[in-house]
Structure 1
Amino acid sequence: MAVLLSLAITGCVGPNFVRPPAPNVEGFVPGRLASPSPAKGGPPVAGQHFVTSADVSARWWAAFRSQPLNDLIRQSVEHNPNLQSAEAAIRIAKYNALAQRGFWAPQVTGNSTSSQILQTNAGAVFGGDLGAVPQPEFSLVTNQLTVSFVPDIWGANFRSVENLDAVTEQQLFQLEAAYLALTGNVATAAIQEASLRGQIDATKRVIELGRDSLGILKRQFSLGQAAQADVLQQEAQLAAFEQLLPPLEKQLAQQRDLLTALAGQLSADEITQKFDLAHLKLPSNLPISLPSKLVDQRPDVRAAEANMHAASALIGVAIAARLPNVLISANGGSTSYNFAQAFAPGTGFYTVAAGVTAPIFDGFTLYNKQKAAEAALDQADAQYRTTVITAFQNVADALRALQSDARAVKAAVHSEETAKASLDIVRKQLSEGLINQLALFNAQQVYLTAVNVRVQAEANRLSDTAALFVALGGGWPAGCVTANWRDCAMGEAASQPKS
């Protein structure tokens, strides 16, 4: 009856949370969005096409057509401790919310007390004969059941539950954000490893060419057609090229350590997957979500929204604390001289009470707590708007980068081809003794620079493609917040999406 009475008269104080509207914009960049395509003429370079209003696949990394990348990301999702920590945070928030719901029901406690009592001899106390009246000694057994209930008249508990539910929702989106960050970091780190391998291979090719050129000069020196200074200069140039290898190899080893750590393994247990640019395909079709949908896809935006919801509910809790409160309690049990008589007729007792408490003066403590809760909502609102602006900026930055990457790759490929053709001519002229050593040095240096720039340009294009998928929210499947969310998130589209 008390529960029904509470539900009948409950009125929740404080604001009712309303989701912020999506930004009223038509695009992520000013004007019409142009797909990233290389300029006409020159060497052929793969183009990319923006597909507007398309959904992002949950397994967006599969667009790179790399089975080692697919395997490593699944391994990372299964074993990375950051995701396990986020899962534990969800359970903490969930159980806190369930615990708060318990205050909607009466709180029932029971106790049983058994005591041995020796009653004071009244005559001895007032100076009488100690032996005149014997001191009574007896046992007393009390069994008692206490029921208390606080009707949620102003909705204080309702708002508390609402706050904790919002915190749980926030933790769910934090898990999604951690998942998205992990998959993005693994893909980017794998691309960086491929870039380093490409730079190492290019440096080794230039070193090999330098050794061939040194061999030519040594033969010419033995025949009296080249000076010893030319041989020494080429040896110095070759040594300079060889000095470039150790730093690149160190970066590659550290990159392997990073990928191993992302996979949730110790550095001694290095991952087996290896990556190179030849086995990472550039996705040709890039889905671009509608701006109005971005706020639903980005987990950081949804987490900021849940934070607003939690702050809004706390205002109601603060207001309810300033209003009168009712406590209903009932106490029933039995008292007897031994446990066998505990439920005999005439041993029972009960009390029923109701009380009202209300703050009268507290030095404006509760008033200022309400104002602090209202300011916290303003803060959460500002943080939400900042998160939305950052999300749109991330997408715009990725779009801008991809539009310039195509031209950069084309220019880098053209530069490498030209530098290689120039080096081939110079080496041929060197073998015929038609050029000086300075021309060879310049041609070798230009070719090495051109190859490394081309490798880095291709890697940047792949990385910026991954950054676009991440900026769009990664396409987390709807209804994927379950106990087996890993299979849900990783199992969508068993076959790789068409590129």
Structure 2
Amino acid sequence: MQFEHTTRPPAVAPRALTLAVASAMLALALAGCAVGPDYTRPAVQVPASYKEAAEGWKVAQPSDQGDRGAWWTIYNDPQLNALEDKLNQSNQTIAQFAAAYRQARALVGEARAAYFPVISASAGGTRQRTPSRSSTSSITGSNGTSIGISSSGSITNSYNIGLDASWEPDLWGQVSRTVHSQEAGQQGAAADLANARLSAQATLAQTYFSLRSLDATQKLLDDTVAAYGRSLQLTQNQYRQGIIARSDVIQAQTQLQSAQAAAIDNGVARAQDEHAIAVLVGEPASTFSIPSSPLDATPPAVPAQMPSALLERRPDIASAERKAAAANEQIGVAIAAFFPTLTLTASGGFESSVFSQLLTAPSRFWTLGPQLAATIFDAGLRSAQTEAARATYDQNVATYRQTVLAAFQDVEDNLASLRILEREIVVQQQAVDSARQARDIVENEYKAGTVGYVNVLTAQTTAFTAEQKLATIAGQRMVSSVGLVKALGGGWDVAQMDHETGSVTAPAAAPAASAPVAATAPAPVQGAAKQPVVAQK
């Protein structure tokens, strides 16, 4: 009689599969349970208006505000526009921050990868010899002697193909907090890039106008040297005729030589400004030059946002705020370490000692199951890490608030500078006119022989000093004008943090509702700005 035996498949697989499915469902149910504090922007004290804008400024209409991404074009200087374009393409400081932004963007992708399982594949083959057990057999020879023979070991082959997968569900929000932290870091890096670009652009414009002011001073010095040369010639002629003493000639000669030395010295400052511009535009100073052209520009009217809008316009403020947001998320990451972690793992494949039978059903294998792990004792490590994360957040909040205060100071400083210099240049122009008139009168009196040459020296020196001061004030006004544009954030807006490309070139112009400067005022510029601005009368 024959009996037939049927083997039933083991029940382990369905149970393991059920356990894995239940663990996954539990993980998904708990995935939204993120621990740690939710971020809110730190409160800062924002003034209702600018103090230095109280006199001579008024609230402008929203239409006064326009698209001014390339804010330097308000100065209508083709040479400056060309230099700014070179800077946006070749400035190495901007290139450094652009690379830092790309790194921050990559870190976001790295953090997001933790949301998904890790799957790996493997394949291998081995050939192995194992020793036999310690046993010998003897054979008796024809001469009666015994010969011991040991059995040889076995040789086996092993081939395998496997697939492994593991996934750690984000039960307590550790991964999401990390992703949010890196995203805030990416936005902060975009703001840092924008701030580096704006700083370089403003530095270039200020240095450029400083150079043009030195060109105006150089022209004044050259004219003064020529005038003093004529005075020296006049005194020499009068001395030959016996009209004046030798001392007058010496004084005229000394005055001329002093003016010549000042003209030469002015070239040092101009050369340094020119070299600084070369570095900003990414060119060697040895091969870079800017033709001389005296400054003849006046500051354009620059509308300014209300103080509350400054928080959205300044990239350095946005960067500091994003760093605080990133630090807040790190608190949640530190708190999540107090809770257990669940890891779901699965592996399967084929393994056989015969290669031809590797991909057959009897050669398959698999494992599946969850693993729960928790730290019981760490001597206060996690508590210390949490406290450190909270302290880092507090530090970043303080930095953010300090940055806001410094921003308001920056705006107030430049508003005050423009307002005061505007009044000063009017008075200084009057002083120049008076000094020139007095010089002409004294020179005519000297030619008539009614006054001594000391009076001429005094009048000429007074006129030259007044004219030099006027040229200096004109340059300072332009520098302060650029400083105000920079203090107001240039053409940047906080919305650009999510659209920054990370390239060295300047970003696209900001929308009309977010640009802080206008080419002219009060002439309206088409735009849909809703934020009131302050414009100079």
State whether TM-score is above 0.5: yes
Q: 1:346 aligns to what SS in structure 2?
A: helix
- One-letter amino acid of the structure 1 residue matched with residue 132 of structure 2: N
| Residues 1:68 and 2:86 are matched in the alignment | no
| Residues 1:8 and 2:25 are matched in the alignment | no
Q: Distance in 2 between matches of 1:433 and 1:50?
A: 60
Q: Distance in 2 between matches of 1:196 and 1:355?
A: 74
1:113 alignment partner in structure 2: 124
Q: CA RMSD in A?
A: 2.5
- Which of 151, 155, 158 matches 1:133? 151
Q: Distance in 1 between matches of 2:163 and 2:25?
A: 22
| Residues 1:96 and 2:115 are matched in the alignment | no
- Which of 153, 160, 163 matches 2:181? 163
- One-letter amino acid of the structure 2 residue matched with residue 27 of structure 1: S
- Which of 188, 192, 196 matches 1:178? 196
| Residues 1:370 and 2:381 are matched in the alignment | no
- 8 A contact 1:140–1:337 mirrored in 2: yes
- One-letter amino acid of the structure 2 residue matched with residue 104 of structure 1: Y
Q: Flag the 1:271–1:216 CA change in 2: closer, same or farther, 3 A.
A: closer
Q: Flag the 1:378–1:126 CA change in 2: closer, same or farther, 3 A.
A: farther
- Which of 267, 278, 289 matches 1:249? 267
Q: TM-score if structure 1 supplies the norm length? A: 0.91
Q: TM-score if structure 2 supplies the norm length? A: 0.85
> In the TM superposition, what are the counterparts of 1:305-384 in structure 2 within 5 Å?
305-384=321-400
- 8 A contact 2:302–2:519 mirrored in 1: no
Greater mean alpha carbon deviation, residues 12-21 or residues 444-453: 12-21
Gaps of 5+ in 1: 37-48
> In the TM superposition, what are the counterparts of 1:386-397 in structure 2 within 5 Å?
386-397=402-413
1:26 alignment partner in structure 2: 48
Q: 1:458 aligns to what SS in structure 2?
A: helix
Aligned length: 482
Alpha-carbon offset, residue 269 of structure 1: 2.5
Alpha-carbon offset, residue 3 of structure 1: 6.6
Alpha-carbon offset, residue 338 of structure 1: 4.0
Identity of aligned residues (%): 25
Runs of 4+ aligned structure 1 residues displaced above 6 Å come to 1-4
Q: Which has the larger radius of gyration?
A: 2
1:43 alignment partner in structure 2: none
> In the TM superposition, what are the counterparts of 1:163-242 in structure 2 within 5 Å?
163-242=181-260
Q: Distance in 2 between matches of 1:126 and 1:82?
A: 84
| Residues 1:450 and 2:466 are matched in the alignment | yes
Q: Distance in 1 between matches of 2:88 and 2:275?
A: 17
Alpha-carbon offset, residue 8 of structure 1: 2.8
- Which of 119, 123, 144 matches 2:134? 123
Cα deviations across residues 359-378 of structure 1 (Å, max 9, x unaligned)? 11111011110011011111
Alpha-carbon offset, residue 345 of structure 1: 2.4
Gaps of 5+ in 2: 1-20, 139-146, 513-517, 522-537
Alpha-carbon offset, residue 59 of structure 1: 2.4
- 8 A contact 1:52–1:287 mirrored in 2: no
Q: 2:128 aligns to what SS in structure 1?
A: strand
Q: 1:147 aligns to what SS in structure 2?
A: strand
1:40 alignment partner in structure 2: none
2:447 alignment partner in structure 1: 431
- One-letter amino acid of the structure 1 residue matched with residue 87 of structure 2: S
- Which of 277, 287, 299 matches 1:282? 299
Q: Flag the 1:187–1:265 CA change in 2: closer, same or farther, 3 A.
A: same
Cα deviations across residues 246-285 of structure 1 (Å, max 9, x unaligned)? 221011011100111111111122144655312x3421x2
Q: Distance in 2 between matches of 1:437 and 1:220?
A: 11
- One-letter amino acid of the structure 2 residue matched with residue 33 of structure 1: A
Q: Distance in 1 between matches of 2:115 and 2:136?
A: 52
Q: Distance in 2 between matches of 1:22 and 1:223?
A: 78
- 8 A contact 1:72–1:273 mirrored in 2: no
- 8 A contact 1:112–1:142 mirrored in 2: yes
